[in-house]
């Protein structure tokens, strides 16, 4: 799924509530409608949108009633900071269907009591949750370090740049390697000006160029990382 | 900020584009308007909303023109899976203002060439980005393991539960420890029925109760984690 599509979906409170309900258990339209206090017509329209996006799917039970469940396993990360806005959506492999064919995914292993196995699985779930929290903490720490490093880079750019265009160019390249065309477009500067400054920065050893996909792109000169 | 508020904000394409622009560099209203091809009136209304939420702030430059920049450093994580929908928003400490007082946050360290220092900082940024990607991968892996463990738990519940109510109770408690009242509400079952089943599951050694904040809450019985 396109991450912006997921953001559009999650931008509506009732759709978020529907996802919350379905993540708890599969539900019928009437159930969702009464839980949320929202008319079935509106619920059906939201469900249609969610189904179209592949986020949910529907099945029919023995009484031929249609119920909905989450069809996806994914993880959206958005980071907003003064120097970066990134949105990433990861699909997490999810093989409920193929489980039967997976030799590891068997039911209670032979020789193990079902009840003991269940308690063990519960312990495993708790452990996984704890590790998820630890990783989230590490990510925060990294984002803080990144912002701090970026702050210092900006100070450093002010020391080494000889004019405002150099400042802008170094800042752009710090965020990512890029082509002359993108630099001209992003900074709204004439190619001749950008080029002259790029050549000067190259001579002074700050930047270099490479070829990727048959295109020249510019980047900050790479040196061995000596940190930590 | 309330994570649902951020989701409401990010649910609009033009607001996302504004954030993207400002994360690149501070901008004036006229600049944003021309970049997005959206009238200044609409831009001002979006900016007002973003400012009110504390996501952006404005400053006035020497020509007394108002420009906007990202005021926040935060990280939103949304995970959607058949068994869980979680939204977390972390504020990442961000001390651009106090940098001067931070002895570590100085400009080029004494005895180091500004240009060498700049290249080193760039290397550090790259390294941080790489570590962020690695962590994101680990998080995906964990989410996949969690879903798989949950699948196996559900199979296990079917083996040990003696009736549908027990199934539902064990599934609820697997997700999180909870009170009798919440169980009755979530499952729409009468307290006497829930209670009778809880007592039976306790006797069979599957669940136990504890006291937290002066409330009884139920949970799957904890055993030592023997995994890995």
Which tens digits make up the pLDDT trace of A196-226? 999 999 999 999 999 988 889 999 998 864 4
Cβ within 8 Å, pair B73-A13:
no
Same domain, residue pair B149 and B167: no
Partner B contacted by A204 (CB < 8 A):
yes
Last residue of a domain, one of A74, A93, A128: A74
Domain contains A27: yes
Identity of the residue in B19, B75, B85 whose CB atom sits nearest the CB atom of A20:
B85
Chain A residues closer than 8 Å to B73 by CB:
80-82, 143-144, 147
- Do B141 and B195 reside in the same domain of the chain? no
In a domain, B117, yes or no: no
B212 falls within a domain? yes
Mean per-residue pLDDT for B100-106? 46
Q: Identify the helix (H) or strand (E) that includes residue A215.
A: strand A215-220
- Count of A-B CB contacts under 8 Å: 302
Residue B197 is part of a domain; what is its CATH number?
Answer: 1.10.10.10
Number of C-beta neighbours around residue A182 at 10 A? 14
Q: B51 lies in a domain?
A: yes
Residue A90 lies inside a defined structural domain of this protein: no
Chain B environment of A171 (Cβ under 8 Å): 25
Residues B153 and B189 in one domain: no
User: Across chain B, what does the average pLDDT equal?
Assistant: 87
Q: Pick from A11, A44, A74: which residue ends a domain?
A: A74
For residue B197, pLDDT over 50 is answered with yes
**Cα separation, A60 vs B151, whole angstroms:** 21
Determine the structural domain holding residue B57 and report its residue range: 3-74
How many angstroms separate the CA atoms of B20 and B9, rounded? Answer: 13
B174 contact A CB<8A: yes
Q: What is the pLDDT of residues A44-88, one digit of tens each?
A: 999 999 999 999 999 998 888 899 999 988 999 999 988 889 999
Same structural domain, B155 and B196 = no
Number of domains comprising chain B: 3
A186 close contact with B: CB closer than 8 A: yes
> Looking at residue B96, what is its pLDDT?
54
Contact A220 B119 (CB under 8 A): yes
Q: How many residues does the structure list for chain B?
A: 228
Contact B153 A122 (CB under 8 A): yes
Tokens of A61: 């039970």
Decide if A153 and B125 are in contact by the 8 Å CB cutoff. Answer: yes
Burial class (CB in 10 A: 0-12, 13-18, 19+), B103: exposed
φ, ψ dihedrals at A63, nearest 5°: -85, 15
Query: Would the pLDDT of B105 be above 70?
Result: no
Whether B190 and chain A come into contact, CB under 8 Å, resolves to no
Residues of A within 8 A of B127 (CB-CB) are 225, 227
Nearest to B10 among A7, A25, A94 (CB): A7
pLDDT beyond 80 at A97: no
Helix (H, G, I), strand (E, B) or coil at A208: strand
Same-domain pairing of B169 and B151 = no
Domain contains A88: no
**Are A24 and B186 within 8 A, CB to CB?**
yes
Last residue of a domain, one of A74, A92, A113: A74
CA gap B10, B46 in Å, rounded: 11
In chain A, which residues have their Cβ closer than 8 Å to the Cβ of B95?
A: 148
Cα B133 to Cα B49: distance, rounded to the nearest angstrom: 31
pLDDT of residue B1: 85
Report CA dihedral (A176, A177, A178, A184) to the nearest 10 degrees: 70
- B97 in a structural domain: no
Q: How far is Cα A117 from Cα A52, in angstroms, rounded to an integer? A: 38
- From the list B23, B148, B151, the residue facing A85 with the nearest CB is B23
The answer to whether A81 faces chain B, any CB pair under 8 Å, is yes
- Give the model's confidence band at A22: pLDDT under 50 very low, under 70 low, under 90 confident, else very high: very high
Closest C-alpha among B108, B98, B93, B87 to residue B7: B87
Distance CA B225, CA B149 (A): 14
ipTM of the complex: 0.79
Give me the pLDDT at residue B100, please. Answer: 45
Closest by CA to A10, choosing from A77, A59, A66, is A77
Convert chain B into a string of H (helix), E (strand) and C (coil): CCHHHHHHHHCCHHHHHHHHHHHHCCEEHHHHHHHHCCCHHHHHHHHHHHHHCCCEEEEECCCCCEEEEECCCEEEEEEEECCEEEEEEEECCCCCHHHHHCHHHCCCCCCCCHHHHHHHHHHHHHHHHHHHHHHHHHHHHHHHHHHHHHHHHHHHHHHHCCCHHHHHHHHHHHHCCECHHHHHHHHCCCHHHHHHHHHHHHHCCCEEEEEECCEEEEEECCCCCCCC
The answer to the question of residue B109 being in a domain is: no
């Amino acid at each position: 799924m396109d991450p912006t599509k997921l953001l559009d979906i999650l931008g509506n409170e009732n759709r978020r509530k529907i996802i919350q309900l379905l993540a708890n258990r599969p539900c019928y339209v009437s159930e969702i409608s009464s839980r949320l206090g929202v008319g079935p017509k509106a619920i059906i329209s939201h469900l249609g949108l969610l189904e179209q996006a592949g986020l949910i799917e529907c099945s029919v039970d023995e009484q031929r009633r249609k119920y909905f469940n989450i069809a996806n396993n994914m993880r959206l990360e958005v980071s907003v900071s003064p120097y970066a806005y990134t949105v990433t959506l990861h699909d997490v492999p999810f093989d409920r269907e193929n489980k039967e064919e997976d030799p590891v995914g068997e039911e209670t292993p032979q020789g193990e009591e079902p009840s003991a196995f269940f308690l063990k699985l519960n312990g495993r779930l708790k452990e996984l949750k704890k590790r998820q929290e630890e990783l989230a903490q590490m990510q925060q720490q990294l984002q803080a370090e990144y912002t701090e490093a970026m702050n210092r880079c900006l100070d450093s750019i002010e020391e080494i740049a000889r004019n405002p265009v150099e400042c802008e160019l170094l800042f752009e390249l710090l965020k990512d390697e890029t082509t002359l065309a993108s630099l001209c477009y992003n900074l709204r500067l004439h190619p001749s000006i950008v080029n002259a400054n790029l050549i000067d920065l190259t001579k002074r050893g700050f930047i270099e160029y490479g070829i990727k996909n048959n295109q020249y792109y510019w980047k900050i000169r790479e040196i061995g990382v000596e940190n930590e």
